């Protein structure tokens, strides 16, 4: 209110110019997800012996502050137990924060969970929201009624998801008979039938094969481009982030460790990729151009580490020109090692 009044009266006193106030009001409207010093503490009771119990507090989220703007696709990464799923559960209203302030679309999730549910979609990779024993289409029909989605809207969204996620053949199959990749696509469609403005994805590509991963990624890119859906993505696969997110947040022990571009994270951690080459026969370690170097040899297979920022193609071509190459593959750095290097760098700085 104060901001509106200030903006309406350019000559008015108070901090900042009218333009500044307007920009601030706009930024506020744009901040679709807002966390300010959010905490979540779990009380854990553990049996430590006969009639003996120990009470312990787990600080899963510890003073977390960030904002996500409408239409952003943000990667949310960190080691196991970092507090990622807890954050997402608070953003949906499943869990109530122990402290701090949290808003999604201006709504306090744990206070108005149902109202928020109409505006968000959520996919937990480890747990399905579909009815296990029913054909896929029946779950969608139930959601149509539960969310009171207008018929035309429902049909349009369903048709679109079925086409883009290639679900046509699966609609009459009971969910329990679907493969992991099929079920995940089914779950993503279920989360989108009511046109949510934001989609939370908690490990949506975990355990998926390469083809399924590509389908899911392509779909999310289209969704974001066409509908401007805001996406918060938790993953262990750095390629998900590379292909989908211009911004990545790293969380560890419930705290934000990094917020910026993925490239910046690679630089901060000076992370390395690995080129795995299969030679025709066992050979001494390959003499690779600097700074690539052989880190492991096992029979005819050799592993070469090289900076993640450099091209694997150039390195592979150089090796193929001088060695009898049969096969090769590139391994991306895993999130744990990127983060470990980030810490090492900071400790050294």
Ligand X SMILES: Nc1ncnc2c1ncn2[C@@H]1O[C@H](COP(=O)(O)OP(=O)(O)O)[C@@H](O)[C@H]1O
Bridge partners for 296 per DSSP: 303
Q: Which is nearer to ligand X, 17 or 57 (CB)?
A: 57
φ, ψ for residue 104, nearest 5 deg: -130, 120
Q: Is 322 helix (H, G, I), strand (E, B) or coil?
A: helix
Closest CA to 258 of 109, 129, 20, 77: 77
Residue 181: CB minimum distance to ligand X, A: 21
Between residues 251 and 262, which has the closer beta carbon with respect to ligand X?
Answer: 251
Choice between 85 and 212, CB closer to ligand X: 85
Q: How many amino acids of this chain bind ligand X (CB under 6 A)? A: 12
The strand pairing partners of 39, in sequence order, are 62, 99
- CB closer to ligand X, 60 vs 286: 60
What secondary structure does DSSP assign to 34-82, as a single string? EEEEEEEEEEEEEEEETTEEEEEEEEEEEEEEEEEETT-EEEEE-STTS
Residue 245 phi, psi dihedral angles, 5° rounding: -115, 130
Residue owning tokens 């908690």: 202
146 binds ligand X (CB under 6 A): no
Report in angstroms how near the CB of residue 128 gets to ligand X at its nearest.
17
CB nearer to ligand X: pick between 102 and 143: 102
Answer whether 40's CB lies under 8 Å from 60's CB. yes
| Residue among 257, 254, 258, 339 nearest 57 (CA) | 254
Residue 61: CB minimum distance to Mg ion, A? 12
Determine the Cα–Cα distance for residues 98 and 232; give it in Å rounded to an integer. Answer: 22
Residue 84 in the binding site for ligand X (CB under 6 A): yes
Site mask for Mg ion (CB under 5 A), range 183-222, x = bound: ----------------------------------------
Q: Which of residues 23-82 bind ligand X (CB under 6 A)?
A: 42, 44, 58, 60, 78, 80-82
- Binding status of residue 235 toward ligand X by CB under 6 A: no
Question: Which window, 76-84, 89-97, 98-106, 165-173, contacts Mg ion (CB under 5 A)?
Answer: 76-84
Give the integer Cα–Cα distance in Å for 41 and 99: 9
Catalog residues that contact ligand X under the rule CB under 6 A. 42, 44, 58, 60, 78, 80-86
Catalog residues that contact Mg ion under the rule CB under 5 A. 84-85
């Amino acid at each position: 209110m104060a901001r509106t009044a200030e903006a309406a009266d350019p000559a008015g006193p108070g901090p900042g110019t009218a333009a500044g106030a307007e920009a601030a009001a706009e930024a506020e409207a744009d901040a679709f997800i807002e966390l300010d010093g959010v905490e979540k503490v779990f009380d854990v009771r553990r049996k430590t012996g006969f009639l003996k119990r120990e009470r312990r507090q787990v600080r899963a989220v510890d003073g977390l502050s960030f904002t996500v703007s409408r239409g952003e696709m943000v990667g949310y990464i960190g080691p196991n137990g970092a507090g990622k799923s807890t954050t997402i559960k608070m953003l949906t209203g499943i869990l109530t924060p122990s402290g701090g302030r949290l808003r999604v679309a201006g709504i306090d999730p744990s206070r108005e969970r149902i109202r928020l549910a109409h505006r968000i979609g959520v996919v937990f990779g480890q747990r399905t929201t579909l009815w296990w024993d029913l054909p896929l289409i029946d779950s969608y029909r139930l959601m149509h009624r539960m969310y009171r989605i207008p018929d035309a809207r429902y049909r349009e969204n369903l048709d679109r998801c079925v086409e883009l996620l290639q679900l046509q053949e699966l609609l009459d199959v009971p969910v329990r008979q679907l493969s992991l990749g099929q079920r995940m696509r089914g779950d993503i469609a279920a989360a989108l039938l009511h046109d949510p403005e934001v989609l939370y994805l908690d490990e949506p590509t975990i355990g998926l094969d390469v083809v399924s991963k590509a389908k899911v990624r392509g779909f999310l890119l289209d969704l974001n481009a066409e509908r401007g859906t805001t996406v918060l993505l938790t993953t262990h696969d750095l390629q998900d982030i590379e292909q989908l997110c211009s911004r990545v947040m790293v969380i560890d022990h419930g705290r934000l460790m990094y917020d910026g571009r993925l490239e910046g994270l690679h630089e901060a951690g000076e992370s390395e990729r690995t080129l795995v080459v299969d030679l025709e026969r066992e050979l001494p370690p390959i003499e690779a151009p600097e700074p690539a170097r052989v880190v492991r040899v096992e029979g005819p297979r050799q592993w070469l580490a090289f900076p993640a920022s450099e091209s694997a193609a150039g390195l592979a071509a150089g090796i193929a020109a001088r060695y009898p190459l049969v096969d090769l593959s590139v391994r991306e750095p895993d999130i744990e090692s990127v983060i470990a290097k980030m810490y090492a760098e900071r400790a050294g700085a």
